[in-house]
Chain A
Amino acid sequence: MKVHVRFLAAVAVGTVLATNTFAQSLKEIPGSSPLVAVANEPAPKLFVGAPLPGPLAHGAVVIPYRLENFRILPVLGAGAVNVSPRVGHLHVTVDDLPWHWGDFSDSNTVVVVGLPPGQHKVLIELANPEHHIFTGQTVTFTVPGPA
């Protein structure tokens, strides 16, 4: 019985250590809870990577992106502009076309398939629920021709 108690104590100490480690890393994630409003939330940031080379070689443009201070949700309109933490969505434009589509998928990836061989560009913009643009980034790339 005594041994049993000691064992439990050791497990408890181990758990506390583990908890401290986890707690630190969680704090490093800004805006980690959607339930708590963020006062003076920093400006939204968008980081767009180059299309993944493997799929691109097969003509599939798979563009990874990452966001900070911005949650993608299908929440729109003037009533949502002041939601905190901030919500919005993406506008995606291909090759300077006059139109774009709204992307609410929050899948960290924009996928475009079937672009003809040659140079192309994709503009990814962060839009607020009323479609005002916070920031955007254009990625240019070349779709290879048939081998």
Chain B
Amino acid sequence: MRINTFAAVAACTVLATSAQAQSAREVRGASPYADIQNEPAPRLILDPPLPDQLARGIFQIQYRVENVHIVPVFGAGALNVSPRIGHLHITVDDLPWHWADASDNNTIDVVGLPPGPHKVLIELVSADHQVFTGQTVTFTVPDRAK
């Protein structure tokens, strides 16, 4: 009788796990502790800017990456690290300069842009700053006087 109960509990546990939870690897990506042979190409996934924040003039955009581990590790000496490492370059409104973001915070935050159309280029780059991939986001900062 007791054994039967345990078997039923075990079956429920397995069902619950497969129904609800994606694996850690599926959600968080590969472990940074184990090297990867033939790692797939880097990917950058951007959401639209957070709408409530944009209405207040705050540009905040969530991102996630695949096949790149974002860390503050730089230079040619880091190019052969596996799993691959890198960081972001962020450029506002086609300015000739960008800043580096190695925070892996999943959100970029720019505040105080004047009302009107703007664009932010987000590039995923290697530790030595070669661009893997990038995306430009265009958006309009509302006129808060209205």
Q: Which residues of B contact A (CB under 8 A)?
A: 72, 89-90, 92, 95-103, 105, 107-114, 129
Given contacts A99-B111, A99-B112, A102-B111, contact A110 B99 (CB under 8 A): yes
By a CB distance below 8 angstroms, the chain B residues around A104 are 103, 105, 109
By a CB distance below 8 angstroms, the chain A residues around B105 are 74, 104-105
B113/A99 in contact, CB under 8 A: yes
Count how many pairs of residues, one from A and one from B, have CB atoms less than 8 Å apart in the complex: 65
- Determine the residue in chain A with the shortest Cβ distance to B89: A113
Give A94 to B129 CA distance when docked, in angstroms. 21
Contact of A112 among B98, B109, B110, B113 (CB under 8 A): B98
Total number of A residues with any Cβ neighbor in B under 8 Å: 24
By a CB distance below 8 angstroms, the chain A residues around B113 are 98-99
By a CB distance below 8 angstroms, the chain B residues around A97 are 112
Give A13 to B111 CA distance when docked, in angstroms. 57
A94/B97 in contact, CB under 8 A: yes
By a CB distance below 8 angstroms, the chain B residues around A101 are 90, 99, 108-111
Given contacts A74-B105, A104-B105, A107-B72, contact A114 B96 (CB under 8 A): yes
